[in-house]
Amino acid sequence: MQDFVQELRLIEKKWQEEWRKARIFESDPDERPKFFITIPYPYLNGNLHVGHCRTFTIGDAVARYKRMCGFNVLFPMGFHVTGTPIIGLAELIAKRDERTIEVYTKFHDVPEDVLLTLTTPEKIVEYFSQEAMKALKDIGYSIDWRRVFTTTDEPYQRFIEWQYWKLKEKGLIVKGSHPVRYCPNDENPVEDHDLLMGEEATIVDFTVIKLYSFDEELGKIVFPCATLRPETVFGVTNIWVKPTKYVLAKVDGEVWFVSKEASEKLKYQEKKVEVIREVDAKEFVGKLVVNPILAGMLIDKILDDLKEFDEKLYERLSKIEDEDERLRAVVNEIVNGNLARILIDLFGRAKAEGGEKFDIMRRIVVPILPAEFVDTDNATGVVMSVPAHAPYDYVALEDLKKKDEILRQFGIDRSLIEIEPIALIRIEGEKYKVPAVEVSKELGIESQKQRDLLDKATKIVYKKEFHKGVLLETTGKYAGMLVSKIKDVLQKDLIEIGVGDVFYEFSEKPVVCRCGTKCVVKVVRDQWFLNYSNPEWKSKVLEWLEEMTIIPDYYKEEFRNKIEWLKDKACARRKGLGTRIPWDKEWLIESLSDSTIYMAYYILAKFINEGKLKAENMTPEFLDYVLLGIGDAEKASQSSGLDVETVEKIRREFLYWYPVDLRSSGKDLVANHLLFFLFHHIAIFPKEHWPRAIAVNGYVSLEGKKMSKSKGPLLTMKRAVAENGADVTRLYILHAAEYDSDADWRKKDVESLAGHLRRFYNLVKEHYTKERKELDQLDRWLLSRFQKAVKETRDAMEKLQTRRAVNAAFFEVMNDVRWYLRRGGDNLVVILDDWLKLLAPFIPHICEELWHLKHDTFISLESYPEFDESKVDEKAEAVEDYIRRFMEDVKEVMKFVEEPKEVYVAFAEEWKSEVLKIASQTGSMKEAMSKIMKDEKFRAMAKDVSAFLKRVFKDREMFAVMDELNEREIIEENLEFLERELGVKIILDESKVPDDKRRSAMPGKPAIYVVG
């Protein structure tokens, strides 16, 4: 086999060189219709591998197919190097990181002495782009290499700057802040591959709701309660702290009571934090805090009581009619005035008096209680207790009620904890009134130490409430809203009125950086964002999506969802290779954000590489004109320093090639690159230049294992081609899987495929130069079958189903050819021209080589075979089917006879053909029966007729063609073949066939009697 691969490699090199010399893949505008296909340019922090190979080969097969279908195809390629990984790699190589050296020598096949010199990003880019180009040429892609570029090229940077100015002008770039995973030690955001632990963790935003206490010494103290369910603020009965050390800290001017951990974390979240002193939470247990929201909602019930505390305050509040406004005023008095203190005093009095007023006051003012389940390393370390809806809260509270010694120890007044849960959510279609209580009881939870059960209960309650929960009257103006919709609304409202905040926290812990430091969530401020949440932008993209072709089609839904989900994206970074934001040079444009409309750059790249267009020519006026048609050639010429003619030429070429007809990509890029690709085209270009189609394909694994660039295993494209040949590699990867399902690279299967290709190669070589003979029945069968292969292949290629295409064009034709030869066909040459063309997009080198045995044109430029219906010969196909079936049946029967020698054949009685003829004109069994029974002759034998008809309708397809065939003739004509294949003598003498067998014969299934 190695010999064959070596021979292949020589053939491949030869034709690659011929193609290059003849420049057949260099595409310039002409009168043909154009087809512009692009593939995402690869990121060069390593060698191209067989995963790239899949996406690229699909692209190349389509490019070659379309070219042969008469399109002027543009298939360009560039290289992506902006971003951080290349810098990271250079650093690792520079410091001789062992693991990196191992992976790059072992898997990326970089010779060690070369690798060790790659200590700067520039050297890495230089080396890997050369290697990539070699690999892409080695496999014979039909790329127009005049257009290659790298994303750090100066002209490219001009192009990106132009794009960003455009987006800025359109108001699509905004400033904002956002949370990132951050390492305090490295003082940098931490990327996925720099994590030691916690890769699964996501950043969640807790809503912080501030409750207020009052202290003689420090004044107001804020108890910032963190929750994922802000709506539960309406059902707070107390707050929980863990009986351990906390801190009092000045946070943006207010005094906050938070866990020590939280005081550290807050510093990274845009907060100014000054720790005043460490405190023991026990000191605060039993003290009271004011819930400003409830105070605002219930103020009218206690307004009169305020009069004696503060008359002016009373005046101010009682004047306000509007409920919402009053709530805001109350909150304001708590936050900025001394209403909190008054309410706490009022609570004391109401408690002494008891009664209804106390019931009201205890909703506004709640006690601080101790609980062991509180995690000080989660958010602020202070939580609200909502026993109606949180099993932990309910159980902890019940726990506390039972434990007098704890109450004594903390000096908690028992009357403070005689608390009833306050329900605020109704669950649609469920019996629960106070879910946390009922579910806890159902599960038999007794103590807050039963964490497993409590977690389970919490899950049940949260799930039901989230999906089917509706807010009750207790939530004031939010009543009637769905729980699933409330979070964002309420968080926003709380922040707006001044008692809410956001605390970012990891969903799982710990999250540890490679350096060993625990990561925190940091809020980056004043970052530039692409405003993908912009509703007009979004809806334009959504509308255009409906016009597009997405392959496979169910990905359209996926795209729809992802477009909806896409939020503003930070497009600026501090570190990495790339282009600076033109109006804020501190920042680099993030590397996915500079790869959105670069397909347009391929048109410019040709001129740049020819030296006709330089970075300094690429002025905004020039780009405006050639890419958008804004302004005119004169102005563009003046501004750029290019002559008008060149400017016009570039403009014309752009207009010829754009838009992108197909972008074929790996499925991993759907949620990022492909979305941005759509958004940016739609933002920048006029509608006629928006992308037409996107196709996605799956990954490639290695002997069932996932490949990894940074850890291995990995198979480079170059090695795959060197070991197996370009055409073998191509055919394998195209046939290994379809669409988004993943392909597995298996050495054994690849080798077996090489065997198939060798057979094919030898077969064609043997038959191709033979004289054409006149067509006989068998040749017509072959041609007929071949037409179906053509149709199937074309159909599959139109849908980018390379697996189906290869199956039809290669394997199925191969099977037919095998049968054809076995049947003694020796006119194979009649399909060979077309067969080679049919296969040329998949295995271009072999096809080119074989084609040249007879022709001196390039097969790569020939026209693709057309389906020719006149060559379809159903009868010839029926005859072959008959022969095959006959052989199978005879063999089946021969199994039961030792040493079979003679086979006697009897054909079906005449009446059966008659019945069949009538039946074939009817649609149903019933109809056929009634029609047939009109004939007296059949009526006499109704039983037999009905039994036969049943069979006929069971096997309709076979019987459908039978009345056209003369069975006796077929067997007689092929007697020699049949006897040779079956190794018996076949005698068409029905007198030797027993009666019962003869009667069971049917058209298409003669009676067979074997004699030993």
Residue 773 interacts with RNA (CB under 7 A)? no
Other Cβ atoms within 10 Å of 418 Cβ, number: 9
User: What residues from 691 to 720 belong to the interface with RNA (CB under 7 A)?
Assistant: none
Q: How far is the CB of 329 from RNA (least distance, A)?
A: 36
Residue 30 interacts with RNA (CB under 7 A)? no
User: What residue has token string 């255009």?
Assistant: 544
Q: 551 CB contacts (<8 Å, ≥6 apart)?
A: 693, 694, 695, 696, 739, 799, 800
Query: Are the C-beta atoms of residues 988 and 971 closer than 8 Å to each other?
Result: yes
Between 45 and 259, CB nearer to RNA: 45
Residue 566 interacts with RNA (CB under 7 A)? yes
Give the Cα separation of 733 and 802 in Å (integer): 9
Residue 51 interacts with RNA (CB under 7 A)? no
Give the Cα separation of 419 and 415 in Å (integer): 8
User: What residues from 507 to 546 belong to the interface with RNA (CB under 7 A)?
Assistant: 532
Q: How far is the CB of 538 from RNA (least distance, A)?
A: 12
**31 DSSP 8-state letter:** S
Residue 2 interacts with RNA (CB under 7 A)? no
Q: How far is the CB of 973 from RNA (least distance, A)?
A: 19
Q: How far is the CB of 854 from RNA (least distance, A)?
A: 25
Q: How far is the CB of 982 from RNA (least distance, A)?
A: 10
**626 DSSP 8-state letter:** I
Between 17 and 200, CB nearer to RNA: 200
**DSSP structure string for 900-960:** --EEEEEPPPHHHHHHHHHHHT-SSHHHHHHHHTTSHHHHTTHHHHHHHHHHHHHTHHHHH
# residues contacting RNA (CB under 7 A): 77
Burial of residue 272, with CB atoms counted within 10 A of its CB: 0-12 exposed, 13-18 middle, 19 or more buried: exposed
Three-class secondary structure of residue 502 per DSSP: strand
Give the Cα separation of 184 and 520 in Å (integer): 7
Site track 447-476 with RNA (rule: CB under 7 A), x = hit = ----------------x--xx---------
Three-class secondary structure of residue 915 per DSSP: helix
Give the Cα separation of 540 and 577 in Å (integer): 32
Residue 889 interacts with RNA (CB under 7 A)? yes
Residue 567 interacts with RNA (CB under 7 A)? yes
Between 119 and 672, CB nearer to RNA: 672
Beta-ladder partners of 108: none
Residue 428 interacts with RNA (CB under 7 A)? no
Is the four-CA dihedral 952, 957, 962, 963 of positive or negative sign? positive
Give the Cα separation of 834 and 530 in Å (integer): 51
Q: How far is the CB of 561 from RNA (least distance, A)?
A: 4
Cα angle 664, 669, 670 (rounded to 5 degrees) comes to: 85
Residue 990 interacts with RNA (CB under 7 A)? no
Q: Which span sits near RNA by CB under 7 A: 25-33, 341-349, 563-571, 838-846?
A: 563-571
Q: How far is the CB of 394 from RNA (least distance, A)?
A: 22
Residue 431 interacts with RNA (CB under 7 A)? no
Q: Which span sits near RNA by CB under 7 A: 70-78, 184-192, 331-339, 353-361?
A: 184-192
Residue 36 interacts with RNA (CB under 7 A)? no
Q: Which span sits near RNA by CB under 7 A: 164-172, 262-270, 558-566, 579-587?
A: 558-566
Please give the structure tokens belonging to residue 616. 């300094």
Residue 740 interacts with RNA (CB under 7 A)? yes
User: What residues from 795 to 824 belong to the interface with RNA (CB under 7 A)?
Assistant: 803, 807, 811, 818-819, 822
Q: Which span sits near RNA by CB under 7 A: 371-379, 661-669, 684-692, 828-836?
A: 661-669
Between 224 and 666, CB nearer to RNA: 666
Other Cβ atoms within 10 Å of 27 Cβ, number: 26
Member of 573, 718, 785, 871 binding RNA (CB under 7 A): 573
Residue 558 interacts with RNA (CB under 7 A)? yes
Between 652 and 950, CB nearer to RNA: 950
E strands in 667-740? 693-697, 700-702
Q: Is the preceding peptide bond at 552 cis, omega within 30 degrees of 0?
A: yes
Residue 772 interacts with RNA (CB under 7 A)? no
Member of 668, 881, 909, 935 binding RNA (CB under 7 A): 668
Q: Which span sits near RNA by CB under 7 A: 205-213, 357-365, 427-435, 752-760?
A: 752-760
Between 307 and 822, CB nearer to RNA: 822
Is the four-CA dihedral 929, 935, 936, 941 of positive or negative sign? negative
Q: Which span sits near RNA by CB under 7 A: 70-78, 176-184, 368-376, 598-606?
A: 176-184
Member of 741, 769, 863, 930 binding RNA (CB under 7 A): 741
Residue 591 interacts with RNA (CB under 7 A)? yes
Between 737 and 831, CB nearer to RNA: 737
User: What residues from 894 to 913 belong to the interface with RNA (CB under 7 A)?
Assistant: 896-898
User: What residues from 72 to 91 belong to the interface with RNA (CB under 7 A)?
Assistant: 80, 82-85
Q: What would the 3-class secondary structure string for 577-622 be? A: ECCECCCCCCCEECCCCCCCCHHHHHHHHHHHHCCCCCHHHCCHHH
Long-range own/partner contacts, residues 531-538 (CB < 8 A, 24 or more apart):
531/171, 531/172, 531/173, 531/174, 531/568, 532/566, 532/567, 532/568, 532/569, 532/675, 532/679, 533/566, 533/567, 533/568, 534/172, 537/172, 537/679, 537/682, 537/683, 538/563, 538/564, 538/566
Residue 997 interacts with RNA (CB under 7 A)? yes
Q: 532 CB contacts (<8 Å, ≥6 apart)?
A: 538, 566, 567, 568, 569, 675, 679
User: What residues from 215 to 244 belong to the interface with RNA (CB under 7 A)?
Assistant: none
Member of 661, 738, 880, 967 binding RNA (CB under 7 A): 738
Residue 391 interacts with RNA (CB under 7 A)? no
Give the Cα separation of 342 and 824 in Å (integer): 107
Member of 17, 112, 154, 191 binding RNA (CB under 7 A): 191
Q: 910 CB contacts (<8 Å, ≥6 apart)?
A: none
Member of 565, 926, 940, 947 binding RNA (CB under 7 A): 565
Between 539 and 561, CB nearer to RNA: 561
Member of 228, 446, 554, 641 binding RNA (CB under 7 A): 554
User: What residues from 87 to 146 belong to the interface with RNA (CB under 7 A)?
Assistant: none
Give the Cα separation of 340 and 317 in Å (integer): 14
Between 568 and 880, CB nearer to RNA: 568
Please give the structure tokens belonging to residue 780. 């017509």
